[in-house]
Amino acid sequence: MPESKMVTFDLGADKKIEVSWAAAGKGSLLESNLFEEYQKNEQPEDTEARGLYNAAVNGMESLLLACATAGVDIDTREFRESVQTAFDAITNKYEF
């Protein structure tokens, strides 16, 4: 039976990513609450920034899941700091 693993990244302000996967490529799942819903009556520049933010978050999450399923140890201090730094950069770049 493949070994199952789960790692949770707490990114501050109640933002989290949870990655679960099984050894030998038997399945994986990423859940997060990072996606920002579009707001009714928001300014066009905010809609654009929100779309770019969501695309950047999607790319970060995809890379995180790919690393986990490829066997990279995503539960190290260095990897966790890298994820936090990437998320901080995304939130600083796309303010809305």
Q: What is the pLDDT of residues 49-72, one digit of tens each?
A: 999 999 999 999 999 999 998 889
Place of tokens 């609450």: 33
Residue 1: pLDDT above 50? no
Query: Residue 32: which residues within 8 A CB-CB, separation 6 or more?
Result: 15, 16, 17, 18, 57, 61
Give the pLDDT confidence of 8-36 residue by residue, as tens digits.
Answer: 999 999 999 999 998 766 788 999 999 99
